[in-house]
Amino acid sequence: MTEASPSTGSPSRTALPAGPVWQAGLLAALAAVVVNGLVWFLLQQVLDVGLRIPSEPGGTELSSLPLSAVLFVTAFAGLVGAAVLWLLTRRGPSGVRRWAILAVVFGALSALPAFSIDTSTARQLGLVLFHLLATVVVLAVVRQQLARWTR
């Protein structure tokens, strides 16, 4: 995803246009929200999996995973990701690679607390699914959207 400079063969230091970067980041966030919303509906409403989270942060009492929590957390993380993408691409296309690495690390780390919830492993993995799906969707959409600007 880097662009070679004609004289040196090194990556270009020219910032990617801010408009397409923001558009890619925001579209990726929206896509992740839609995908996680659809998966929540499938798991909770159609398959009645019964995903549960702590009622209070750090608490042991569990309540059903609300759609609003899934949508809000996915949207918030996606918007933060869009801002980080913009910041990292201001120095050039190599920022996209650094952003992708950070997105994968953040996606994996954000899923870890699901394993501390006192519920079955299958339900823990159901919660992890939201984090992994959001990460994959965001990476795929940003890559697809920015492909035309980095070639």
For the cut 60, the answer to whether the pLDDT of residue 1 exceeds it is no
d(CA 110, CA 94): 24
Helix (H) or strand (E) holding 64: strand 62-64
d(CA 27, CA 139): 11
Residues 87-125 have pLDDT tens digits of 999 988 889 999 999 999 999 999 999 999 999 999 999
121-150 vs 94-111: helix crossing angle, rounded to 10 = 170
What confidence tier does 151 reach under pLDDT thresholds 50, 70, 90?
low
What confidence tier does 150 reach under pLDDT thresholds 50, 70, 90?
low
53: region left, alpha or beta (phi > 0 left; psi from -120 to 50 alpha):
beta
Q: Which amino acid is at 147?
A: A
Segment 22-46 shows an average pLDDT of 97
Among residues 76, 88, 95, the alpha carbon closest in space to that of 29 is found at 76
Q: What is the pTM of this model?
A: 0.86
Among residues 142, 146, 108, the alpha carbon closest in space to that of 28 is found at 142
The tokens of 87 are what? Answer: 């910041």
pLDDT for the residue numbered 3 = 44
Q: What is the mean pLDDT of the chain?
A: 89
pLDDT for the residue numbered 57 = 86
